[in-house]
Amino acid sequence: MYALHTYVHNSFTCAYDFIRLYAFIRILDYIVLS
């Protein structure tokens, strides 16, 4: 059960990092284009 919790937590952390990276790239894109 604990292993599953760790796996889910890691998945969410990974997804959060990906979203943050994507948002950062979008903002950078917006600044460069404007």
In which residue are the tokens 């952390």 written? 13
pLDDT at residue 1 is higher than 70 = no
Q: Using a pLDDT cut of 70, give the percent of the chain over it.
A: 97
What's the whole-number mean pLDDT along residues 1-27?
A: 90
Confidence at residue 34, expressed as pLDDT on a 0 to 100 scale: 83
The larger pLDDT score, comparing residue 10 to residue 27, is at: 27
pLDDT of residue 7: 86
